[in-house]
Amino acid sequence: MYHFYRYKKSRPYYNINNIYYVCSYGGCASQEICHYLGNFGDVYHIHSRFPPNNLTKTGYDDNIFTIGSEWFSNKIIPNEEIYKYKVIFIYRNPIYSIYSRFNDKQHLLNIQCSDNNITISNCIEQKKDLFELDNFFDNYTTPNKDKNYNIYCIKYEDFWSNISKFNKLLFIPDINELYQIKKETFKNMTEYENLKEIYTSLLEKMDNMNSIEIR
């Protein structure tokens, strides 16, 4: 799976000073959004659970392709360079994400779960958010005055009808023919209702968010 996107460098809209960090817990169409942003700058798809107060580079910035390369590092970006970076958090109904990606132990490691052996059955048996997605969501969406950068929180379900608004907020040229098309892969979500009971609180928080919010 690719996590660095610079496919469109020959395109007229590419800007070397645009650097995008697309953050998610997985299963949120992050790759489609990364491909789209690749028209306009360099894009890093990361799964770090913990956004830092002072923005840092990721392992991919330094061509480190090991465990942790998808996370924020300890290498702080100088304040005079922060303007180049846009941090985007894309989130989705967690149940769809779980069925899309969370049967993979490596993915659980990448999103820094406390236990990489968790299964859907474990969550249902214990009636708990063992994937800690509520925590992941809160880490990105809770206002934090100590941060030296903004986080653009994007609701997956609404993104496709709000690309123009997204472009305006990120100062991206609004070129219709570059828009990504929504692609759905339907899963047999046999435990949907049981998981919905577990994630009721998180779903309510998501419902109360606007399609795009800056935190």
- In order of 108, 150, 158, 180, the CA distances from 64 in angstroms are 20, 25, 34, 29
- What does the chain come to in residues? 215
Whether the CA torsion 22, 24, 30, 33 is positive or negative: it is negative
Q: For residues 1 and 105, what is the distance between their CA atoms, to the nearest angstrom?
A: 15
The reported pTM is 0.92
Count of structural domains within the chain: 1
**pLDDT one-digit tens code per residue, 22-48:** 999 999 988 889 989 999 999 998 899
Is there a domain that residue 200 lies in?
no
pLDDT of amino acid 1: 40
User: Which amino acid does the sequence have at 215?
Assistant: R
**pLDDT one-digit tens code per residue, 94-131:** 999 999 989 889 999 999 999 999 999 999 999 999 99
67: pLDDT confidence band, cut at 50, 70 and 90?
low
Residue 178: domain span: 4-93+133-187+210-214
Q: Are 46 and 71 in contact (CB under 8 A)?
A: yes
Q: For residues 116 and 26, what is the distance between their CA atoms, to the nearest angstrom?
A: 15
Domain of residue 50, CATH code: 3.40.50
Of 37, 1, 13, 57, nearest in space to 173 by CA: 13
Joined together, the tokens standing for residue 140 give: 């990105």
Mean pLDDT across the chain:
90
Is there a domain that residue 38 lies in?
yes
The answer on pLDDT for 197 being more than 60 is: yes
Please state the φ and ψ torsions of residue 198, each to the nearest 5 degrees.
-70, -40
Q: For residues 176 and 194, what is the distance between their CA atoms, to the nearest angstrom?
A: 40
